[in-house]
Amino acid sequence: MYITSRFSGSGVWNVTQIVAVTNQKGGVGKTTTTINLATALAVIGQRVLVLDIDPQGNASTGLGIEESNRFPGAREFFVGEATWQESIRATEIDNLSIIPGNQDLAGLEVELIDLELRAMILKKSILAKQDLFDIIFIDCPPSLSLLTVNALVAAQHVLIPLQTEFFALEGLSQLMRSIKQIANGPNPQLDILGVVLTMYDKRNNLSAQVAEDVRQVLGEKVFQTVIPRNVRISEAPSYGIPVIVYDPNCAGSEAYIALASEILETSEKLRIHI
């Protein structure tokens, strides 16, 4: 595949890596980043799973999973009502599978409240068969909900998409505090894989200023690769395929491939706890 020829990274990992993709703000490119990174790694031979725990189910839509094919899905897997085999769906992309999100996730918060060790439920479900995959991306809801907390407890790493727009840093300090609390408590191995700047408009001085401000505040936590505003990124979900498959040559695809390469090149970040 043409995409593979543009990878410069060669890093690999020898235990399953679990990455929670999260930002409590919506509309920051969280799901788009999840499915395109997952696709980029799948096409170079990594066994990749997307776990869609956002009740909106946008990652499932973006990977072509119809509403009628989402049960059992993430909610049933989450609480142990469905096995891995029953929950997983293949996608049109080799090596890429998904446990789809469905509307029942919206009521899962209430179900979890009365459960003992409610923040550990997802981790227990994932541990059973996580070695089926090289890397698992958890697409979290756009909130610091109990679902997101479960993802942070289950993951080794957090990837934070951050839009280069006004108020970009708003709420980020709360997310960072939550990550620190979980790392100091139920999940000591949790770290920040990085922050990826999204929706960058090179014609707009504001984007450049926000990017500069974010790098000053967060330093090396910010990936060098920046995801641009790109019409093809916006179009791809309506066709049920990631942009790097929809139009491999567009600026958005180039950026996500570069981001995947950057992650592979700096795979020591994924080896910290191995």
Residue 31 in any domain: the answer is yes
**Residue ranges of the chain with per-residue pLDDT less than 50:** 271-274
pLDDT at 160: 97
Residue 273 within any structural domain of the chain: no
CA 67 from chain centre, in angstroms, equals 21
Predicted confidence at residue 2, as pLDDT, reads: 53
Question: What is the tally of structural domains in the chain?
Answer: 1
**Phi then psi for 165, rounded to 5 degrees?**
-135, 170
User: What's the pLDDT score for residue 272?
Assistant: 41
| Per-residue confidence (pLDDT) for residue 270, from 0 to 100 | 53
Q: Taking the mean position of all CA atoms in its chain, how far away is CA 250?
A: 21
Is residue 4 in a domain?
Answer: no
> Is position 1 within any domain?
no
Domain CATH code at residue 200:
3.40.50.300
pLDDT of amino acid 265: 84
Residue 13: the pLDDT is 66
pLDDT at 130: 82
The encoded tokens of residue 142 equal: 């756009």
Q: Which two tokens stand for residue 245?
A: 């498959």
- CA dist 147 and 78 (Å) reads 9
Kindly provide the b/e burial profile for residues 177-198, where b requires at least 16 CB atoms within 10 angstroms of the residue's own CB. Answer: ebbeebbeebbeebbbbbbbbb
Q: Specify the pLDDT at position 274.
A: 30
User: Cβ distance 31 to 251 under 8 Å?
Assistant: no
pTM of the shown model = 0.93
Instruction: Identify the domain containing residue 106 by its residue range.
Output: 12-266
Q: Where are the beta strands (DSSP E) in the chain?
A: 17-21, 48-52, 89-90, 96-99, 135-139, 157-163, 191-200, 222-228
Q: Is residue 129 part of a domain?
A: yes
pLDDT of residue 171: 81
Alpha-carbon gap, residue 228 to 253, rounded angstroms: 10
Per the domain annotation, does 248 fall within a domain?
A: yes
- Nearest-angstrom CA–CA distance, 39 and 95: 9
Answer whether residue 148 is part of any domain.
yes
- The answer to whether residue 3 sits within a structural domain is no
